[in-house]
Each structure stands twice: as structure tokens, then as C-alpha cells.
Amino acid sequence: MFDTLQDRLAATFKGLRGKGRLTDADIDATAREIRIALLEADVNLAVVKEFIAAVRERAKGAELSGALNPSQQVIKIVNEELVDILGGQTRTLRFAKRPPTVIMLAGLQGAGKTTLAGKLAKWLAEQGHTPLLVAADLQRPNAVQQLTVVAERAGVAWYAPQPGNGVGDPVAVARESIGIAETKQHDVVIVDTAGRLGVDAELMQQAADIKAAVNPDEVLFVVDAMIGQDAVNTANAFAEGVGFDGVVLTKLDGDARGGAALSIARVTGRPIMFASNGEKLADFDVFHPDRMASRILGMGDMLTLIEQAEKTFDAEQSAKAAAKLTGRGGEFGLGDFLDQMKAVRRMGPLSKIFGMLPGAGAMKDQIANIDEKEIDRLEAIILSMTPTERDNPKILDGSRRSRIAKGSGTKVSDVNQLVDRFFEARKMMTALASGSMPGMPGMPGMPGGGPGKSAQRSGKQQAKKGKKRGKGVSGNPAKRAGAITTGAEETPADPAAAFGNLDPSQLDEKQLQQAMGDFELPPQLRDMFKNR
């Protein structure tokens, strides 16, 4: 949704990188470009003016840090101002002291209220609550049936005594649902009300009557993030007619310009509380202004990514896979790889996952072109193997690979490519997990990386002292690395110096063991060097 805005802002910041300091002319030019970018994103004009004035004032002020270059200074200011117009702090639900907590949903027709009711109910159920969905939208055709289907998919209870399709009293349904919730011990009631095609006086009054009947703890205004500034006008009208406590943005995964998201919190004075960014019931998150600002500026959203990973990955399974990579729990096989790949896919589309990584904006085209079907082909190949073959891919000879290719509907070359890439990836992951990544240039303390400059100077100075005291230093680099003689005591040297100027990837197991002295390599790392 924010791709165009992200590109324009990135181009604006890029123009500041070569400058040594910010002049007034630079600030004015940058502010003008940011203003154009926000207007093109359909952000409310009043919000744009306020935003640009704040950025210009801060950029010209005395708060600029000497440790940051001009581009970093402006990005810091813009990020903080974006967080501010998006609401500043994360706002969570207020629960009633005495259950049930009543949440009323309202908004325009087509904004996605009924689906969002199911998403919110599922999210609350995952938090340990027992929500009850109430079908109080009796106007839209099949709205009641849709709510029951969504409730079944979410695995929560629902209350739908009236058939809908223009029949029934929504105020009575909403009122009765509170007693039902108390009787059946549901601690949260979510009331789905009728949408409207515009500012409809009759339906606005109906929403006000429902609010008076159930006295909700939270009234959430559900708005389609793709409709631009009109969302702000509708929100203002609803705030005056009924009132609401928070905003829920839907369809954030769309390709519109996203002006509603950047306008509605500031114009209405109500916080954005939740965001829906997909069609699945799990595509629902608490809205964090700081994380959204980070995404807009192309800096990723690692916290959300980590939270999704924690919900998706099985801790015990991941621990077993990690143990195998370090050689303590057997050998990491294609079966383990398949389990991890499935866990990643449960987090959502790969394009969405990669889009949360810092710097993803620079790889937008590549991320957009990720072929999910390729992952399906990989799964088909692995599932066409026997359990023994998955655990030990080294036994895959020509006849086995031919059989696997036929069973998965792929070519032998596809099987070969998967197996070869798996072995390469396993070597890399094993080395990383063991803390001994070979051939990493410029990484002090890592084999092949060499010590840092200070360690090199220290080593040379100590070697010179050893010669002056008459203590000979062995010409064998392994012995010299094991301990540098400095008189009466021996000081361990940087492990990386054990290889001297040699590339550790060229050493066989015997040479490597000799060079490392008494250091015992993990079995997987030894195998890695054997197979090179």
C-alpha cells in the first residue's frame, strides 16, 4: 500500500547523502518533496501542512545531532513525526471490570466489518478470552449467514436469533446478547452492526440506539484503508452522530495509496487500534504506530516478524533442529528442512515476510516476483522421498533421484538442484550454529577472518618482546597460535591466527585438528571440512 510513498521518500533522502550539512535551501527542497509525496499518497491536506511545518521547524532547529549525517537527521525527524500523526502510542482494548466486555463495530458497507469481527474474535480467543459474535446486521443480504460461517471458521460462539435480510430488530438482538453472554459465561461480546452506503441518517440513528442499549466498552470504527480521504469525512460524520473510541483499518494489503492510514488518527483524534492486512482470519494485528512508520520509511518491521515467528514456530521442534545443526542431536536432514519451511509458510506469504526485513524496499521487485509455487515443488520433491532418504540425503543415487522426480512430477535436474543447494545451506547453517563460520572476511575471532587490527598489533608487539627475552617463537603457525611466549607466562592468541595466511577451507581434517590444537570440532563441522 505504501510502495509509492516509500519510493518517493527514499529518493528524497538519497539526494541528501552527499551533503556535509543541511542548509536552509536543502531543508526547503526536502520539505517540498515530502509534501508532494504525501499529497500523492492521498493524505489529508491539513495533516500534510501540519506534518511539513513540524519537519521544517525541527530540521532548522538546534536539536540536530553532530553524529548523524543530513540524510540520517531528516529520516530521524520524519520517522518521529510519522509516529506522531499515526497516533503516537499503541492503544490496546479496555476490558470491563465486570464481564462481559462489549465491543461494537460500525462503519461503511463493504469495509469488511463482518470478516473483521471474526478476526477480532479469533485474536481474543488466542489471548484466552471467550468471545461471542452477535449478528446485529439485519439489513445486508446474507449478513447473518456470513457471520455464522466466519464464527465457525474462527472457532468461536455466535448469537443470531433473527434471519436478517431486512427482517428483525437489531437493537433487541444486541440487548438480548448481553444476557446470553452472562448466562453462558462469555467474557467478550462483539456486536456486528449494519453498514451504510454513506452518511445515512436512519442507520446512524440505529447505531446510536444499539450503543445506548448495550453501553459498549469500546466502539470501533472499521474503515477501508483504500478509500482515501473520504474515510476521514465519514469518520468525522460518525464521530459526531454516534461517537467511537478507536479505528480499525482493513485492506492494508491493497494497492491503494494509503492516505486514510496517515490521516484518520490525526483528523479524528481517535487512535488506530487494529489493522487487517489479508483475507485470512489470522491476518490481523494490533496497530503499532512506530512499526508502521518504520515500514513506510523502508526500515522493516522486525518486531512484528519476531512476534509472528514466535506464534508460528514450535519451540521444541526448533530446538531439536538447532541441536542437529550443532551436531548434538543427529544430522539435520531434508525432513527437518521441510518442517522449518512449513513453519515459515504458516507465517504468511513469503513476499509479506521478506517485506518486513530492513532494506526490503530496495528489493521490492524481486520480493514481488517470489514464486510460491516453487516452494510447492520443493515440498513435493521432499515428500516423494522415503523417511530414510530425507534423514540421509547422501544415499540419493541416480536411480533414487529418478524415482523421486517421477513421483513429484518434476525433472531429475530439479531434484539434483534441491539436494545440492540443501548440502550447501546445511554447511553454512552448521558453521553458523557452531560459531565457526569459515572464510568470513574481516570477522575477528572467526576462522579465515583474521584478528582485528588491534589484535594484530598486540600479537606483533608480544612476539618482539619474546625475542628480546631470548624465548624462541616457533615457526609453526599452529604452535605460535596456541600460545605466544612472553616470558614466564603464556598468553592465548586469537584463534584465527592459527591459520596464519592460510585459507582454512584448504586444510584437511588432520591439518585442521593440528592447527587447532586440543580444540575438539563438532562432528558436523568435521564432516563439512572432509567433504570440501
Is 110 part of any known ligand binding site? yes
Is 521 part of any known ligand binding site? no
Is 487 part of any known ligand binding site? no
Q: Are strands 246-250 and 218-224 parallel, antiparallel or unpaired?
A: parallel
Is 195 part of any known ligand binding site? yes
Cβ pair 303, 309 in contact under 8 A: no
Is 108 part of any known ligand binding site? yes
Measuring CA to CA, which residue among 93, 22, 89, 100 is closest to residue 62?
Answer: 22
Please give the DSSP secondary-structure letter assigned to residue 506: G
Is 111 part of any known ligand binding site? yes
CA–CA distance, 248 with 41 (Å, rounded to integer):
19
What HEC string does 103-141 produce?
A: EEEEEECCCCHHHHHHHHHHHHHHCCCCEEEEEECCCCC
Is 427 part of any known ligand binding site? no
Is 97 part of any known ligand binding site? no
Is 251 part of any known ligand binding site? yes
**Which cell is 61 given?**
532547529
Is 196 part of any known ligand binding site? yes
Element housing 370 (H / E): none
Q: Are strands 272-276 and 284-286 parallel, antiparallel or unpaired?
A: antiparallel
Measuring CA to CA, which residue among 2, 53, 42, 1 is closest to residue 232?
Answer: 42
Within the chain, what is the greatest distance between any pair of CA atoms? 103
Q: How far from chain centre, in Å, is Cα 124? A: 20
Is 96 part of any known ligand binding site? no
Is 217 part of any known ligand binding site? no
The amino acid present at 224, given as its one-letter code, is D
Close Cβ partners of 399 (under 8 Å, ≥ 6 residues apart): none
Is 7 part of any known ligand binding site? no
3-state secondary structure of 453: helix
What b/e sequence results for 165-200 when a residue is b if at least 16 CB atoms lie within 10 Å of its CB, and e otherwise? eeebebbebbbbbbebbeeeebbbbbbbbbbbeeeb
Measuring CA to CA, which residue among 64, 58, 8 is closest to residue 34?
Answer: 8
Is 192 part of any known ligand binding site? yes
Is 107 part of any known ligand binding site? yes
Cβ pair 272, 264 in contact under 8 A: yes
Is 114 part of any known ligand binding site? yes
Is 253 part of any known ligand binding site? yes
For residue 437, give Cα distances in angstroms to 14, 382, 481, 496, 512: 34, 27, 19, 11, 14
The amino acid present at 202, given as its one-letter code, is E
Binding site for GTP: what residues are annotated? 107-114, 192-196, 250-253
Binding site: what residues are annotated? 107-114, 192-196, 250-253
